[in-house]
Structure 1
């Protein structure tokens, strides 16, 4: 069966909380009815207690009022807790899809993904759902109920309240349309600032060593100015509408009292109705005022929801089949062409070759010729624009992403390790990994003695990016990670760029052992020592395949190579 029959989305996650929202709506309905406690108490005091002078009646009414206020407070607390739990449920249900999207975005969109931060969008949605903002939205449907009550008291009071509500509603609509652009600009400038900050932090050594701190600070400062003005404009606009609506509500409340007094003088309503109608109108307009105060977060949440839905739709592309047999026979490439994700320029094309189990392929060529592009397409992180890459007749995307990790090992040029123990990194953070397999991979990579010499051995915390290790140590642990689990296809991109003689000897032994057990090894190399243990050779120049065949035969016949290997004879002598 297909691995992802249902696409994750924010709306889908919210729909799973449907029963909770129904409960919150019912609680909101009860709360809005209980909000009439004050006006009714006031009405009874003016029209009954004062008229009759009955103290017992006043005491009974006061006791009932206090009880209803207490119930209202309890329900309000329960509603806030329910909204907080809804926000956390939505957040937790989307955490894994968002993490996958965060990982896949650079692979799918390349540089175009720089402005997309699905984890931040999810956090924006979580904060809004857990804030008082949704409470005001749940209260909005009960506004007509309050207006109807005012109409029951007197039609003139009802028309005044309705006119005031209409004006405030128009202000809310204007606020909505005027805040869209500025809120979007704030989000864009915030993303640009974060990008500069993260890049500087990631390259702190380079920045400090070459005196780039001042220049980057200046560049960051240039982004602060548009952010300041965009944020200022958004805040000023929100404050303007919020203050205007608050002022209008106060004016309407006074106008309601004035009109009520006039009607009371004419004996058309009682004094209690005059006071109660003013309080009810204030309550009717209160949700609008609260909604406007939370409007920036509402708009930001809505925009974040739109972006996140689009990202999840784009990145939910794992259409592999569960249970497809893992490859163990051959690798064939059929006139393959590839490019960087979401880029129109083809970087490598016309590659065609076949490898059998036990083959080792060396890939050579000048800088920028397309060797790394070949490696990335081979492991499925760059798109195949033309042709196909097949393992035992099936293209890579026919396996699920998780299952591909069982038969693919990859060592990129820039080795990145994760915050965790050495064992965690070698085992690819597999919780079910056994120590025997981890040590076997480390020994195969020739890094077991190095790891054993660390303070806590395989339990040594290496820090984010492998900060505690040298470049050569990171590369050798990255090689062990690629070899873990005895994958069928192992792709090594410049695996000896930071290795010493001992490390290169261990690399050659590892390649031979993988071939002897029936695996396929692809080695992208500039240094000839990495090719000692391969039997096939692929030569790439100018983004095209120049030659492919047995290594010894090609080394005899090929005479034009770029980079550090300028001639076939020189390479033959080195190997």
Structure 2
């Protein structure tokens, strides 16, 4: 029996949490020794003032220097080991979660858009930056503050009392700063993320913005949003800076206070002059983590929130799919009582679809706009999870199928062809390190080899922002080559001839005929009639239901001339 994917996600999160906690516990133990070694300098100064100066003993001074040098060398080594510990913690966490987060982010982008998936990647990077940074050590430094407090009490109880009161005041100011700024900071961050998402989304349509003069209106909207975000940040910054200045001033005043107390005790001959200098240094070291607690606590809160986002993404957004590859197969495609309703909607887009196709059959799907054709295409390739029912290829559920082996079986050409940053060779090979012969085979089958040869660098021509721009027809034909790369057993083509000229359509039909001869199941979704002559069967979708299904000639013969949704099919008969 296969283990549920949800439990695997829970185990993955639990392993990451345990690794972090164990690493943090090790770092805390190192911090205890490091904090004790930080007493080297004040204790050295205490001994120099009280022993060396009074006794004028050079031998004592040399001995103290040797002991201090050894202690500081150990401090340097342990501090470096602690830094390496954080680095290893971050590396292990990222290595363990990188692929699951990426997979879950891709899934989330299908249903929730690119912004959420991009945020998940940033969250994981923020967690790594937090772990390898200095902020993670702040609570550990504060945890071992009693070491310094105990030394101050040992020097004199008044030193300890002043230090205890000072630490309490600094801590209260830190908590007050967090209380006054946390909510405003959260609102500002949320507004900033929303603005970045909107701007990034709009920039993808820069050509339309420029052509239709939309920039002034969009600039006005962005400016208003930015001003609102800036106002929130200004409020937070003012409060934070004011309390930070107050905290720093209090720390200086407290160091003056401990020096004053020390001076009084020296005058009364209750302590030595060396203790006064040592207590001032120890006092500054004691208050340092509490002074950093404001920023440190905020960074901890943000890191915890980022971790929660990553856990939610892996646990909730990651597709519940099989993890073991399925052997390559060649069987029927069966759609069984397929129903799909978008998340949050009670009205299904597809309503109980059932049909089957055998290897080598070509199905054409037609129907009016909003009939559910593209939704059906996404369900056929396992991108979208059915509400009820299912799609099965040789008995295997296409949604649950492990994605790597499923990709070897399926090709897909969406309406909007998206080519990734990389070379044309990379795109056709689906970003794999593939045999060049397979790339050439797919390009020739899609009749795009000669067109690629006329590009500046042929198959090595790079695509992406700021590089070579292809026409819509060129992109569609390269997308077709990618879809049929590796001789898949199921190919779904959504509007494959939308940007093709007559020669391109002929090449497309030849590719479909070659796939049919190879035993591939091909599903065509198109409005233009010429491409439907390659179909063996036709399906007419209307309002999410199958109104006609069968051999192409039989379906065409039963179509009423007045049905607008099917008029294109009559033209292809």
TM-score by length of 1: 0.91
Alignment of 1:291-306 (within 5 A): 291-306=293-308
Which 5+ residue runs of structure 2 have no aligned equivalent? Answer: none
Whether the aligned pair in 1 keeps the contact of 2:152 and 2:282 (CA below 8 Å) is yes
Q: CA deviation at 1:464?
A: 4.6
Q: Encode CA deviations 1:135-182: one digit per residue, 9 max, x unaligned.
A: 323312211111122222233332332222223223333334444322
Structure 2 counterpart of 1:95: 98
Q: CA deviation at 1:21?
A: 4.4
Structure 1 counterpart of 2:505: 504
Q: Encode CA deviations 1:249-283: one digit per residue, 9 max, x unaligned.
A: 22222222223333333433333223322322221
Q: CA deviation at 1:518?
A: 1.6
Alignment of 1:138-537 (within 5 A): 138-320=140-322, 322-340=324-342, 344-431=346-433, 433-464=434-465, 468-537=469-538
Q: 1:466 to 1:395 in 2, by over 3 A?
A: farther
Q: 1:293 to 1:462 in 2, by over 3 A?
A: closer
Q: 1:92 to 1:220 in 2, by over 3 A?
A: farther
- Write the distance in 1 (CA, Å) between the matches of 2:53 and 2:207: 80
Q: Encode CA deviations 1:484-543: one digit per residue, 9 max, x unaligned.
A: 111111110000000111111111122122222222111011011121111111111223
Structure 2 counterpart of 1:40: 43
Alignment of 1:540-559 (within 5 A): 540-559=541-560
Q: Encode CA deviations 1:10-37: one digit per residue, 9 max, x unaligned.
A: 6744644667545543442332112112
- Write the distance in 2 (CA, Å) between the matches of 1:116 and 1:459: 28
- Write the distance in 1 (CA, Å) between the matches of 2:62 and 2:171: 40
Which one is further off, 256-265 or 190-199? Answer: 256-265
SS, match of residue 144 in structure 1: helix
Q: Encode CA deviations 1:317-369: one digit per residue, 9 max, x unaligned.
A: 34315243444221121221113456554222221212112211111011122
- Write the distance in 2 (CA, Å) between the matches of 1:75 and 1:54: 32
Whether the aligned pair in 1 keeps the contact of 2:413 and 2:483 (CA below 8 Å) is yes
Q: Encode CA deviations 1:224-269: one digit per residue, 9 max, x unaligned.
A: 1122122223333332333232222222222222233333334333
Q: Equivalent of 1:133, from 129, 132, 135?
A: 135
Which one is further off, 497-506 or 92-101? Answer: 92-101
Q: 1:151 to 1:573 in 2, by over 3 A?
A: closer
Q: 1:342 to 1:515 in 2, by over 3 A?
A: farther
Which one is further off, 304-313 or 287-296? Answer: 287-296
- Write the distance in 1 (CA, Å) between the matches of 2:152 and 2:41: 15
Q: Equivalent of 1:571, from 565, 569, 572?
A: 569
Q: 1:508 to 1:549 in 2, by over 3 A?
A: same
Q: 1:533 to 1:112 in 2, by over 3 A?
A: closer
Whether the aligned pair in 2 keeps the contact of 1:2 and 1:319 (CA below 8 Å) is no
Which one is further off, 490-499 or 96-105? Answer: 96-105
Which 5+ residue runs of structure 1 have no aligned equivalent? Answer: none
Q: 1:117 to 1:318 in 2, by over 3 A?
A: same
Whether the aligned pair in 1 keeps the contact of 2:340 and 2:348 (CA below 8 Å) is yes
Which one is further off, 387-396 or 49-58? Answer: 49-58
Structure 2 counterpart of 1:29: 32
Q: CA deviation at 1:382?
A: 1.8
SS, match of residue 492 in structure 2: strand
- Write the distance in 1 (CA, Å) between the matches of 2:262 and 2:561: 98
Q: 1:332 to 1:317 in 2, by over 3 A?
A: same
Q: Encode CA deviations 1:60-96: one digit per residue, 9 max, x unaligned.
A: 4355445644654554455445534543443344332
Which one is further off, 414-423 or 111-120? Answer: 111-120
SS, match of residue 232 in structure 2: helix
Q: CA deviation at 1:562?
A: 5.9
Q: 1:355 to 1:464 in 2, by over 3 A?
A: farther
SS, match of residue 410 in structure 1: strand
Whether the aligned pair in 1 keeps the contact of 2:159 and 2:279 (CA below 8 Å) is yes
- Write the distance in 1 (CA, Å) between the matches of 2:487 and 2:453: 22
Q: 1:421 to 1:111 in 2, by over 3 A?
A: closer
- Write the distance in 2 (CA, Å) between the matches of 1:41 and 1:405: 68
Q: 1:334 to 1:115 in 2, by over 3 A?
A: closer
Q: 1:482 to 1:340 in 2, by over 3 A?
A: farther
Whether the aligned pair in 1 keeps the contact of 2:530 and 2:572 (CA below 8 Å) is yes
- Write the distance in 1 (CA, Å) between the matches of 2:540 and 2:466: 32
Q: 1:500 to 1:479 in 2, by over 3 A?
A: same
Q: CA RMSD in A?
A: 2.7
Whether the aligned pair in 1 keeps the contact of 2:421 and 2:462 (CA below 8 Å) is yes
Q: Encode CA deviations 1:83-140: one digit per residue, 9 max, x unaligned.
A: 3454344334433223222211122x33596486111112222222222212323312
Q: 1:133 to 1:165 in 2, by over 3 A?
A: same
Q: How many residues align?
A: 570
